[in-house]
Amino acid sequence: MATGPLEKIKSETRLVEKIGLVIPGYRGYRLREMRRDADKLVRSHLYRRLSQSRDDLKASFQRIVDVRLVDAYADMDRLVTRLDAVASQINYAPYGYAGYFDPVKIQEDDLDRIIDYDSKLVDQLNELDAKVKQFRTNVESGHFADVQKGVQEIRSTVDAIDRLMGERRRVMQGV
Q: What is the pLDDT, as a whole number, of residue 40?
A: 80
Confidence of residue 16 (pLDDT cuts 50, 70, 90): low
Number of structural domains, the chain? 1
The CA-atom distances, in angstroms, between 171 and each of 19, 48, 108 are 32, 24, 12
Provide the residue range defining the domain that includes 136. Answer: 5-172
Write the pLDDT tens digit of every residue in 116-144: 888 899 899 999 999 999 999 999 999 99
Crossing angle for the helix pair 147-172 and 108-140, nearest 10 degrees? 170
pTM here? 0.76
